[in-house]
Amino acid sequence: MAFPDGHSFGGFAGLVDGASADRAPSLNSEQGAAAAGGGVSPIQPAASAGPDPWSMEALAAKARIPLPVAEGYLAYLGCTLGDAAEDFAFIPPEELEVALSGFVVGGVAATALQRGQATRLVAATHAQHPGPRTIQEITAPPAAAEQPAPALVVQPAPQPPAAPKRKYSEVLDQGDDQVYEELPADKVQGFRAAHTKITGGPPPDDARPTTEQLSALHARMDAGRAPFADFAIWGPFGRRATKLLKYTAQVFVEGALQTRMLKGPSSYEAWRGSWKVFRSAMLMLEAARPSTLDGYEEGVRQLSLLFPQGWGTIATVEETVRAEQWDILREQIPANTPAGYDADMPWDFVIAQSTYGVPGAIKAHFWEMRVVLPLLRGASAGSAAATSAQMEGAPPVFENQVVHRPPRAQPKRGKGGQKGQRPPPTQTGPIQYCWAWNRDGNCQRPCPQGRVHRCEHCDGSHRGRDCPKAGGKTGTGKGKKGGGKGNPQL
């Protein structure tokens, strides 16, 4: 409630907290007179017996409340100084508030200071006798005993599902059985968006790398390894190729199913199909520039046009460049950082320096010694491949497949004039027969190594395993009368 002097009374219930019944010693006679003011008598010294220590008079003296103020306030409430303070503490707060604005001291309405003194009297009483103040509080049932809180069981946070793990040998490199984690979908979408940002749109379907291909290439480069992709298993529509790989790479050997190494692209066109997917993946990963990747492809195309019969040699060396020379170039860069090298895109520099036909490229000599010179020097693609292998320090790989055939004499006539069976056409130089084709038929046409797909025994059009004259004599014709024989098969 508001008072004439501007003060307000917020109710007695809030006076209990913070109130202190512990006050300084009682005032002397002069101090009491000053506190009462206006001619009000100060508290008189009590008799030796003193008031009842539990009375309102004793409480007023302890709280340094002038007796006339206490007496006037108590009189309005129908109380006296001799009443028990404990009983006074249970007067309802609303009645205490009404009395505060209506009591008089010496026949005059209490001043603001005197009302403040009466308020301290109420606070001192409540501080000495704490407890409930209203009928509702007094009659309320006792509060139930506080139950201990249940033990807090911390549940582990749900973990996101683990990323699928695959082998590099399924999509990237036949000879690498290490595993990699597939990239999450949001990251894959970010990489695909990078292709659109660089080129202006997504790649066509036959040049679009699958999530597995993109994840494998990213993991390989993230491990610091060259971005090599085995084009025997890396190519367009990679998910289909991965599915078929489980069956096409299995063959029976002596009654047991064995995994065989698949061969790479048999022509430049097939190689380019795989390269287009590789190019898109490198752009998505922002590992190389479009001009660099296009320049490398152009170098391989030029070689295929210069030496159309030597694709087997070109493809073998090209794979060696990506599988081995790229790593070697990358290792040499920190020791001697060349001009134009971008540390954020190291593989772009490596690819550019290993491109055929680039003047001053670091690997220009590598291409010359292993492709150009062997194909210019060799009489056939097979001999060029042998020369290229010797440049690597290996023994001639075709030495055991060179068959020397001396000139053959014409068969003699039998006595009856009938000729014996004619031997194969005369050979004047070395012939390199394809062993794979002769033995098990497992070779592409035309032969990637430039060898001849003819019988290694008789030079016939059938395979050597089907030759009826392998190791035997074939001249069995007889004349009508003389029984002459033709020459044996050489």
Strand partners, 55: 84
Average pLDDT of the residues in 118-140: 75
Residues 390, 442 within the same domain = no
23 and 119 in a single domain? The answer is yes
The pLDDT value recorded for residue 163 is 76
Give every CB contact of residue 43 below 8 A, 6+ residues apart in sequence.
Answer: 26, 27, 32, 60, 61, 66, 67
Segment 293-338, tens digit of pLDDT: 999 999 999 999 999 989 999 999 999 999 999 999 998 886 677 7
Q: Is 345 exposed, middle or buried (CB count within 10 Å of its CB: 0-12, 13-18, 19+)?
A: middle
Residue 131 shares a structural domain with residue 183? no
Q: Is residue 375 part of a domain?
A: yes
CA-to-CA separations, 445 to 46, 138, 234, in angstroms, rounded: 132, 107, 21
Q: Is residue 478 part of a domain?
A: no
Q: State the average pLDDT over residues 329-358.
A: 87
Nearest to 468 by CA among 453, 484, 457: 457
More confident residue, 399 or 177: 177
> Position of tokens 């749900």?
158
Higher pLDDT, 166 or 377: 166
Among 34-48, 195-209, 418-432, 433-447, the minimum mean pLDDT is found in: 34-48
Return the DSSP state at 452.
B
Structural domain includes residue 298: no
Question: What are the contacts of 59-64 at 24+ separation with CB within 8 A?
Answer: 59/85, 59/121, 59/124, 59/125, 59/128, 60/121, 61/26, 62/21, 62/23, 62/26, 62/124, 63/21, 63/23, 63/120, 63/121, 63/124, 64/23, 64/24, 64/26, 64/27, 64/35
Q: What is the pLDDT of residue 164?
A: 83
In a domain, 1, yes or no: no
My answer on whether 123 and 71 are in the same domain is: yes
The pLDDT mean for the chain works out to: 76
**Chain centre to alpha carbon of residue 172:** 19
Read out DSSP for 237-273?
A: SHHHHHHHHHHHTEEEETTEEEE-PPP--SSHHHHHH
Do residue 83 and residue 127 come from a single domain?
Answer: yes
pLDDT digits (tens, 9 = 90+) for 78-106: 888 888 888 888 888 888 888 888 888 88
**168 lies in the same domain as 249:** yes
Indicate if the pLDDT at residue 381 is higher than 70: no
370, part of any domain: yes
Same domain, 107 and 179: no
For residue 403, list its beta bridge partners.
431
pLDDT, tens digit (0-9, with 9 covering 90-100), for 266-298: 999 999 999 999 999 999 999 999 999 999 999
Structure tokens at 178: 């290490």
Query: Six-digit token pair at 74?
Result: 């108590």
pLDDT, tens only, 460-475: 888 888 888 775 433 3
Q: Is 333 inside a domain boundary?
A: yes
**What is the C-alpha to C-alpha distance for residues 321 and 364, in angstroms, rounded to an integer?**
11
Average pLDDT over residues 230-249: 74
- 2 forms beta bridges with 8
Q: Are residues 39 and 110 in the same domain?
A: yes
pTM for this prediction: 0.50
Give percent helix, percent strand, percent coil of the chain, each to the nearest 5.
Answer: 45, 5, 50
Task: Compute the C-alpha angle 103/106/110, nearest 5°.
Answer: 40
**Which pLDDT does position 190 carry in this prediction?**
96
- Give residue 12's pLDDT band: very low, low, confident or very high (50, 70, 90): very low
Q: State the Cα–Cα distance between residues 376 and 465, nearest whole angstrom.
A: 34
Residues 276 and 332 in one domain: no
Three-state secondary structure of 166-227: EEHHHHCCCCCCCEEECCCHHHHHHHHHHHHHHHCCCCCHHHCCCHHHHHHHHHHHHCCCCC
**With 70 as the cut, is the pLDDT of residue 455 above it?**
yes
89 with 187, same domain: the answer is no
Where residue 425 falls among pLDDT bands split at 50, 70, 90?
very low
Within-domain flag for 213: yes
**Count of domains for the chain:** 4
Question: How confident is the model over 368-377, as pLDDT tens digits?
Answer: 999 999 888 7
What single letter denotes the amino acid at residue 422? R
Is there a domain that residue 419 lies in? no
28 Cβ contact partners less than 8 Å away, ≥ 6 residues apart: none
**216 and 258, same domain (yes or no):** yes
Selection from 147-156, 238-247, 411-420 with the highest mean pLDDT: 147-156
Tell me what pLDDT residue 267 has.
Answer: 94
Total residue count of the chain as it appears in this document? 490
Boundaries of domain holding 70: 13-137
Whether 25 and 105 map to the same domain: the answer is yes
Of 137, 155, 185, the residue that ends a domain is 137
Token couple for 345 = 């895109």
Cα separations in angstroms, 471 against 403, 486, 489: 15, 16, 8
